[in-house]
Amino acid sequence: MGKPRIEEWTQLRGLAFLAIVMQHSIAEYIYRADIEPADSIMLTMIYHLTRFGTPTFVFLSAVLLFYNYGEKFHYVRFIRKRLGDVYVPFLLWTLIYWLYVRIFTPSFWQKGGQEWSTLLHELIVPQTGYQLWFIIMIIQFYIFFPVMAVVFRVVRTRLEPLNEQSRNRSVFAIIAGTGAFYIFLLYLSYHQMGNWSEKLGSPWSDLVQYRSYSFLMYGFYFVIGAVCAASIGKWRTWCTRLLPWSGLVFLGMYIRLGYDVLRGSGEVVNLNISTYLKPSTFIIIVAQLLLLYGLLIMMQGRNKMFLRLLAWIGKYSFGGYLVHALIIYVIAYFTRPMALEGSHVSFTLLTFILTVLAALGISYTLSHMPGSRWTVGVRRRSSTVKLRKILISGLKHRPS
């Protein structure tokens, strides 16, 4: 029968998808030469409301893996399924993005297609499909997941005999210890590793330069994902009890991060100041993640239409994630020649809405077509599976 479905995970994935689309919509407009200071500041404020997006995807990926595969599993079947559901769509969409950018570039045809060699580089360091770096990073997590699963089982086995108070303290110590180490790692990444890449020789300089592609740089989100998967009820309780504090920390860091970006930028706002690999950005992300999780728990049973909408978005979010940058490219083809003085915020919001609708529409359509697993990572339900579900439902509700 499998494990029960956890509704808030799909809903949280829907929120994360919306945040990511908003980030990329903002990035399309905030660097334009004709943007006014007021629009730059407003877009920066909106941008810092969305920093939880990609790390939340990392957290949810870890939660689902530890929840479903934390116990003993067959590695070959596991990695084959993950590569089929995730990496094959990555290959397809990498090719689509690469072709889209180049077929509209006259030099590509003038050179007789000599740029085909750059496609290999896209498979390692995605540039045209800029959001696809996440797939490169998460595949590393899949490869090393068996080691993490062993650690997960060992820690869980040692914690189970303890009383509740001792178990809670141990879990808190694990979270605090890994969190402190992670902040130190981010400090090195943000303040020191830039200099290291200049001094180290290849290939170490490349590894440092592209450290944002390494799953190790997102390790803390895997840890809290494992904690959530190990005890969902306890995690829900913690998130709801921490609501006032997570809200206050988020508000404080929101003000701090906005100030850092505006102070550190010149005439053009530099959003890279609040990169994921910065200690203060990490704090706001964790605070907002706990805040949103707690709010979703509080909303269960209420606002059913809103939660159903989030769940629907979350269901088709992976396909939407793969395709949404292409939609932004298409919209930008029309908006970049336009003079938008004083309208950058309005066009950002319009781009966000159109991109969400189009990306989810494409994801929904492809998920109901043959080969959906290879395009959007979703397997179509066969009539046999649907019939089995109906029969199981009938057995559950059969009078005794």
> How many CB atoms neighbour CB 245 within 10 A?
12
Domain of 280 in residue numbering reads as 7-396
Residue count of the chain, please give it.
Answer: 400
Q: Specify the higher pLDDT residue, 2 or 17.
A: 17
Mean pLDDT of the region 159-184: 94
Section 19-31 average pLDDT: 96
Contact 377, 138 (CB under 8 A): no
Tell me which of 121 and 388 has the higher pLDDT.
121
Query: For the segment 276-310, what is each residue's pLDDT rounded down to a tens digit?
Result: 999 999 999 999 999 999 999 999 888 889 999 99
DSSP 92-104: HHHHHHHHHHHHT
Dihedral angle computed from the Cα positions of residues 365, 354, 21 and 139, in that order, rounded to the nearest 10 degrees: 20
In a domain, 216, yes or no: yes
- 155 within some domain: yes
Q: Is 48 exposed, middle or buried (0-12, 13-18, 19+ CB in 10 A)?
A: buried
The answer to the question of residue 1 being in a domain is no
Whether 205 shows a pLDDT value over 70: the answer reads yes
Reported as a single tens digit per residue, the pLDDT across 325-364 is 999 999 999 999 998 988 999 999 999 999 999 999 999 9
C-beta contacts of 1-6 below 8 A and 24+ residues apart: 1/392, 3/67, 3/68, 6/67, 6/232
Please classify residue 198 by burial: count the beta carbons closer than 10 Å to its beta carbon, then call 0-12 exposed, 13-18 middle and 19+ buried.
exposed
pLDDT of residue 105: 63
Residue 110 inside a domain? The answer is yes
Q: What's the rounded mean pLDDT across residues 234-263?
A: 95
| Within a domain: 307 | yes
Lowest mean pLDDT among 28-32, 76-80, 260-264, 385-389: 385-389
* Alpha helices (runs of H) in 210-343, residue ranges in sequence order: 219-230, 232-241, 243-264, 279-299, 304-315, 317-335
Determine the residue type at 41.
I
> Residue 377: inside a domain, yes or no?
yes
Cα gap 256→103, rounded to integer Å: 43
Q: Is residue 366 part of a domain?
A: yes
Quote the number of domains for the chain: 1
Decide if 40 is inside a domain.
yes
Positive or negative torsion for Cα 156, 158, 164, 165: negative
